[in-house]
Amino acid sequence: MTIPRYPHPAEAWNQGNLITRRYYRDTRYMTLDKSMDYLSQDQVHMASGNIRLPDGKGNITLKSISMYHQLHCLAKMRLTLQQAREGVDIGVGWRDDAHWPHCFDYLHSSILCFADGTLESVSLQPGPTVGTAVRVIDASLETRHCRDSKPLEELVRHYGPNSHYGESGDLFEVPDGS
């Protein structure tokens, strides 16, 4: 299926489609504190990244964009860690809970799929207590060559739940505990 304004995933890796960027230390994403829940609220409930694609014959197919699924899994794992910290028994694997173990497996596969070969350097970063420093590999020293997420955001705007294809929002919701 060809989608207007959406590059085929293999084409997205062509040099002309890559952007350069550097990672930076964003402590908002380095905590389980509930005050930062707002950063991943949309991802926990998969409020974005699901699209309905028309096939040109009057049918519409529901799809999920991988980048948003990955962000959902990361947010779900964060939520699960919060629950475990609060004393909730989250289980130990897929026989106890179908969701977070799936996310571990899915993110593992996604990381291997993208096989980022950037050689990362050790840097000195602020430590956990004032006046201390730790040596870490945080990837902040290297320039990355990344795929641009803007075409995916445009795809969601055009075919997502708030587009003219998204009349029924129910299909875009992920039920709790699944």
3-state secondary structure of 169: helix
In sign, the C-alpha dihedral spanning 130, 86, 39, 7 is positive
Nearest to 6, CA basis, from 134, 154, 146 = 154
Give the pLDDT confidence of 96-155 residue by residue, as tens digits.
Answer: 999 999 999 999 999 999 899 999 999 998 888 999 999 999 888 899 999 888 888 888
Q: pLDDT (tens digit, 9 = 90+) per residue, 1-15?
A: 556 556 566 666 677
pLDDT value for 168? 47
Q: Tell me, what amino acid is at 157?
A: R
Q: What is the pLDDT of residue 61?
A: 84
pLDDT digit string, tens, across residues 36-77: 999 999 888 887 888 888 877 888 888 889 999 999 999 999
